[in-house]
Amino acid sequence: MEVRVRNYEKGTVIEVQGEVDLYSSPRVRESIVAATRAKAPTVVVDLSGVGYMDSSGVATLVEGLQFSRRYGGAFRLAGLTPGVRQVFTFAKLDKVFEIFPDAETASRA
């Protein structure tokens, strides 16, 4: 799994590639913690390259949402693949997050 972080004028885009599970989710969390500690006004997590995510990945994203809310930041998910979207639907969290079709749209929203 790879995580790439880029900053833009409104915040941070965290681009995740690969499978997010109990082994790899701490690396996603690291980037989310760094962005929210820096109080990025908007954090976009680009999941278009993630074909698989388990509950540890979902919990990491929920944590990110909570961190952002504490300082009034926006926390957005982008590019959910069908498998990942299914997990969010099972978890009934698809209405909790702001979900965008792609990172570009999420960054500009």
The residues of the shown chain that bind another protein, judged by CB under 8 A, are 19, 21-23, 52, 54-56, 58-59, 62-63, 65-66, 83, 86-87, 89-93, 96
| Minimum distance, C-beta of residue 67 to another protein, in the bound complex (Å) | 13
**43 C-beta neighbours (distance < 10 Å), count:** 28
- Whole-angstrom distance, CA of residue 51 vs CA of residue 11: 25
Q: Checking phi first, is residue 90 left (phi over 0); if not, alpha (psi -120 to 50) or beta? A: alpha
Pairing of strands 11-20, 2-8: antiparallel
Cβ nearer to another protein, comparing 48 with 56: 56
Closest distance of CB 92 from another protein, Å:
4
Q: 79 vs 107, which CB is nearer to another protein?
A: 79
Shortest distance in whole angstroms from residue 31 CB to another protein: 18
